[in-house]
Amino acid sequence: MRVRTLSAVAALALMCASATFVRAAADIGKPAPDFTLTDHAGKTVKLSDLAGKIVVLEWFNEACPFVKKFYVGNTAMNTTAAKYAEKGVVWLAVNSTNKATTESNAKAAKEWKMERPILDDRSGTVGHLYGATNTPGMYIVDAKGTLVYKGAIDSNSSADSADIAGATNYVAVALDELLAGKPVTKSETKQYGCTVKYAK
Amino acid sequence: MRTRLAVVAAALLALQSAAYANRATMDVVADRTAATPGGKVTLALTFTIEPGWHLYWINPGETGVPPKVKWRLPPGVTAGPLRFPVPHRIEAGELTAYGYENTLTLLTDLTIPADTTGTLTIAGDARWVVCADACVSETQSIALELPVGPGAASRPEQFKAWQLQQPDRTAVEPIAATLDAEGRRGALEVPAKPGRTAVEFFPPVTPFAVYEQPQFRPGQKVEENGIYRLPFRVLPGAPAEYSAVGLVVWRDAAGKTIAEERPFTFKFPSR
């Protein structure tokens, strides 16, 4: 009986270990997993087609208060995205919410004046490929296609827009370093926010 | 014009609150009928949470954020930190959260200056995120009138029960994290206690350390030399020194559960 319990525990531990491994699939310094997704306007976006450009991936869910923090009553995320778009950075929102539709993404893009694609990943395939755990969760792919940042948008894990001003925007810091030809010093932080509402 | 706008705004707010009733509501009571000059008053902030929804502990885990209060207090009156009761583990989709379901009572101590007279208006704004599968950000104002005077205890039994939900904070010596020479990996090392088994661990808030989840499951065995090891991976840019509280839940020989809040300290090798 005791042996059986132990082996059950070992099996459970193995399961947990493999789950952890799957979560950490996209590693810093390794090629960013390629994907092809369709945006809210019906346009196909393939990551490898963007080779030569820095790409930011923003895990998105318009119903999440931690995402709303950067959109409702302020333009924090759009301002950051626009600032770096001027410098040639491609910024893509990715919605892995199982209930998201092309229409709901189009509605969010219009209401929140997002001048960038919201990619439809309602199956959760790309989210799991990157190990995206939270919204907003952020990734940066450099011009060579290497994953150079994964983590939070900034250093304050609240859902309150008032906290944006005093926080360090990790994505902006990393992009400034990349654009200056430097390596990203803070290449990984902890994502915060809502859980990604993956399909069960 | 201005009035009309205000009326429209009020009507919209009313509509909104009717359509989106709060998933958590808060009630604030004091443990004294009056504030004694030079004394303390404990406030209890009790949340009633809609079934299926949850609020978060000081370390929310892999998702969420704890409730917070922005106080507006009379001159000289200060509020101590919010004291959180022992949380429990909540499976949130593919992630783990630490928090509370159904009800949550936070305690805080108000310090009353010696020269206080009249009536004190204790006001503030509480803000929290409450989640089920979805999450909602909610706010509620606090407004409590406290007369100044000798007063008497109020709801002593209820406060005693709320106090019992709190962890033991009497052991204040910090538990040190051990780190490898490069400061890339480390472990929290909780010394075992005679006659007790550690049954649960709630890690401190550490923005720079990623804990290996399976280590925090119940029933872990004592590692070498009577030490519970809780390994973590260090992310780039960790501070030189850091301290935050975590919770160790023990079970004694009689089956009684003791939750102990302890500071954990991290000292990174200079790089």
* pLDDT for the residue numbered B216: 47
* pLDDT for the residue numbered A118: 98
* pLDDT for the residue numbered B197: 85
* pLDDT for the residue numbered B270: 75
Across the range A165-177, mean pLDDT stands at: 98
Over the stretch B130-147, which tens digit does the pLDDT of each residue have? 999 999 999 999 999 999
Q: How confident is the model at residue B93 (pLDDT cuts 50, 70, 90)?
A: confident
Contact B70, B46 (CB under 8 A): no
Distance CA B137, CA B67 (A): 10
The per-residue pLDDT of chain A, averaged, comes to 90
Closest among B24, B268, B3 to B136, alpha carbons compared: B24
The larger pLDDT score, comparing residue B172 to residue B140, is at B140
* pLDDT for the residue numbered A110: 98
Taking CA atoms, what residue in A is nearest to B96? A195
The alpha carbon dihedral of A38, A39, A44, A47 has a sign of negative
Q: A16 and B137: CB-CB below 8 Å?
A: no
Q: How confident is the model at residue B221 (pLDDT cuts 50, 70, 90)?
A: low
Residue A124 has pLDDT above 90, yes or no: yes
Residue B123 has pLDDT above 70, yes or no: yes
Contact A189, A172 (CB under 8 A): no
* pLDDT for the residue numbered B213: 57
Complex ipTM: 0.87
Q: A20 and B213: CB-CB below 8 Å?
A: yes
Query: What is the rounded (10 degree) CA torsion for B111, B115, B117, B120?
Result: -20
Interface of B with A in 170-209 (CB under 8 A): 207
Q: Is A74 on the interface with B (CB under 8 A)?
A: no
Taking CA atoms, what residue in A is nearest to B237? A186
Closest among B68, B106, B71 to B86, alpha carbons compared: B106
Q: How confident is the model at residue A170 (pLDDT cuts 50, 70, 90)?
A: very high
Contact B131, B90 (CB under 8 A): no
Q: A190 and B236: CB-CB below 8 Å?
A: no
Taking CA atoms, what residue in A is nearest to B209? A190
Residue A14 has pLDDT above 50, yes or no: no
Q: Is B92 on the interface with A (CB under 8 A)?
A: yes
* pLDDT for the residue numbered B157: 98
Half-sphere exposure of residue B241, counting CA atoms within 13 Å on the CB side?
2
Q: Is A64 on the interface with B (CB under 8 A)?
A: yes
Distance CA B42, CA B29 (A): 9
